[in-house]
Structure 1
Amino acid sequence: MLSPLWILAWWRVFGGTDGRCLRALRITGEGRLVGLLPLVARRVWHRGVPFRRLEVLPSGEDEADEIVSEYIGLVAERGAEEVVAEAAARALEGGLAGAWDEVVLPAMDGSKRAPFALADALGRRGWMVTLTERGRSPYVTLPRSFEAYLAALPSSRRYLVRRSIRDLEGFARGDLVFSVARTPEELASARDTLVSLHEARWQKDERTGVFVSSKFRAFHDAVMPALLERGALELSVLRAGGEPIAALYNLVWNDKVYFYQSGRRADLPAKLRPGIVAHAMAIRMAIESGRREYDFLGGDVRYKLDLALASRPIVEIRAARRTLRETLRDHAERAAREIARLRGEPASQRRPAEAFAEEEP
């Protein structure tokens, strides 16, 4: 999601909206590229207070259109994180990215050094800097065999996977097929299946899925074929008796598989878990392909935790200048929290767009 392929597709859809202006910082050392901080500038409003914001690409979409890109932020050559972070902070301090009131990087990989190096470098400038864990990303470090993966799960979760596969095989009467789109024609068919299953799942709860957004659809219409051409897309469909019952939209990058989106039939018997089975088959395929990791991305929901063996934090950095705007924003936020407390509303730091990924399997 930090690759040019993903970012450029995002920019073509969202770059011309909400007054966004590109402000990417390119960091070199000894004549070669060692770091990159892709930013955009735009005006936002905090509780009625206008702010000049710098935010990392690709983020900041309206909630209804949100792509939910993760592991984004500062890109640095391994071992040069502190040097790159210091250079980026110095550039921001010197105004190379223009005037700003706040800098927001919402979804960085908290298991890496770069977020902490950048937060430290920004904090040394006297700005108000927060680094907040916004969620966790469950994942599996893949062993050499699927049986070894199952053996690594606690017994109750190992039973869940095996029972889910057995129940679905019984329902399909031996005709259970997991296939991946390999051609543009197969991609078009699998995409339609994904959208149909995803929308049907949410319509059951009288809600709309993410594909109702024209911008969300436009982004994926652009990025899916590019991912397929590069060999970085695993759009799969699970069929029982020839009928599609689940679909997974996975990304493949640097020998890792990332689960991005899914859909499943909403009218199956309650005991069947097609999502669990689809993920189990995708994990098996990843192991057989020699992949290193299967990452569920953000959202520590039950089915992800049932299948994962570990998790890593997703963190947000916010840096703000000590201005009257920031003081007003802080007072407004405190007042809003106090009003919510008096009303008995639960406090939440959850990113709103994570809801679309929390589909029960």
Structure 2
Amino acid sequence: MYTAQLIDDPNDISDLQEEWKILHAKSLTKTVFQAFAFQSVWWETLGVGKRILITVRNEEGKLVALAPTFVHVESGSSQLSLLGCVNVSDYLDVLVDGSESEDTESIYATLLLAVEQIKWTKLFWCSLPEASATRIFMPKHFAANGNINESIQDVVPIINLPSTWEEYLSAVGRKPRHEIRRKERKLEAVSHEYLVLDDPSETDIEDFISLHKQSSHDKNEFWDDNHLMFFRKLIPALAIEKRVKLFFLSVENTRVASMLAFDEPGSLALYNSGFSLGTHDDLSVGSNLIAYTIRYAIEHNKQTYDFLRGDEAYKFRFGAISTNIYDIEITRT
């Protein structure tokens, strides 16, 4: 027997922090984007509307599921979305205790009945992973009283990592292997240094932002006041939980490339990267930094290297394969 509760009081939500962390560690899907720290910073800096957390507990009072949501007005209609949706969150989903797998369907049934109690015209849950159980149970639940549409939102390229760097180079293919080694050799001819930070300073964060801005016009346009605040708060919050790595490549004592990555238990995920255009372009500093981080992931026993959203060609040159993330839209009838 499971019971659901809708929670919207900020103090009650804050009180859930420790239970949230425990559930996250055991959840069927448990990306950094679903962590309390990420979701809290997102709401503080980018959230709009009304935040509502849906909790499900078993008979002993143990938290077995959590759906962080918010209700907001979109195109004149009341919309229920997952917290974090959509632009800075590459994966989102309900947290469901994996140790309760025999009762997953019952847990979802209880949670989705609570979703029905919230006033909304349209439901939009974005960035669901391929393996998400939400993709199974939500359409089934709303089949009789809603117009349901599931669509592929984007491609997520992932490298399945071998146990050694040499095995990776062998598997990636002759041409990519040649390019990686050629670019490494060219970089080795100049003074350079790689730096890996798990507790970046304010100066480090500002250097990362500066390099990201310089990479392209679109990246520079991204940095409005809200996104600046989001990253300035997010990186320290995740650093406390040892979930973040900030990489730099310096050439002749100048930082010329940077990458912000999320350090998951079995994966290193490339969240954002940037490099200085017009400075050492002949050294392929962006490509060399990616190669270094792939090697770093292998040497730290990661099973996957996740490029996160986007089908940019360079990701596949490094040996990535495509997976998808999905959006579910439901309009009440």
Query: TM-score, normalised to structure 2's length?
Result: 0.83
Q: What is the distance in 1 between the residues matched to 2:149 and 2:203?
A: 45
Secondary structure at 2:278 match in 1: coil
Tell me, yes or no, if structure 1 residue 82 matches structure 2 residue 105: yes
2:21 is aligned to none
Alignment of 1:186-201 (within 5 A): 186-201=200-215
Tell me, yes or no, if structure 1 residue 176 matches structure 2 residue 200: no
Q: What is the distance in 1 between the residues matched to 2:84 and 2:97?
A: 20
Measure how far apart 1:271 and its partner are: 4.7
Secondary structure at 1:298 match in 2: coil
1:8 is aligned to 40
1:38 is aligned to 68
Alignment of 1:56-67 (within 5 A): 56-59=82-85, 66=87
The change in CA–CA distance for 1:81 and 1:152 in structure 2 (over 3 A counts) is: farther
The change in CA–CA distance for 1:208 and 1:149 in structure 2 (over 3 A counts) is: closer
Letter in 2 for 1:264: F
- Contact kept? 1:232, 1:251, Cα under 8 Å: yes
Secondary structure at 2:201 match in 1: helix
Measure how far apart 1:106 and its partner are: 1.4
- Contact kept? 2:212, 2:219, Cα under 8 Å: no
Tell me, yes or no, if structure 1 residue 21 matches structure 2 residue 40: no
- Contact kept? 1:111, 1:313, Cα under 8 Å: no
Letter in 2 for 1:178: Y
Secondary structure at 1:72 match in 2: coil
Structure 1: 5+ residue stretches without partners: 61-65, 323-361
Tell me, yes or no, if structure 1 residue 166 matches structure 2 residue 185: yes
Of 165, 177, 182, the match for 1:146: 165
Secondary structure at 2:175 match in 1: helix
User: Over residues 35-85 of structure 1, what are the superposed CA-to-partner deviations in whole Å (9 max), with x where a residue is unaligned?
Assistant: 11111011111xxxx21100101125xxxxx4x202102222233543333
Q: What is the distance in 1 between the residues matched to 2:293 and 2:245?
A: 9
Deviates more, 1:309-318 or 1:29-38: 29-38
- Contact kept? 2:161, 2:305, Cα under 8 Å: yes
1:325 is aligned to none
Q: What is the distance in 2 between the residues matched to 1:218 and 1:280?
A: 30
Alignment of 1:319-334 (within 5 A): 319-322=330-333
Of 304, 322, 330, the match for 1:311: 322
1:113 is aligned to 133
Alignment of 1:201-280 (within 5 A): 201-203=215-217, 207=218, 209=220, 212-268=223-279, 271-280=282-291
- Contact kept? 2:128, 2:325, Cα under 8 Å: yes
Structure 2: 5+ residue stretches without partners: 1-32
1:330 is aligned to none
Measure how far apart 1:5 and its partner are: 0.7
Tell me, yes or no, if structure 1 residue 298 matches structure 2 residue 319: no
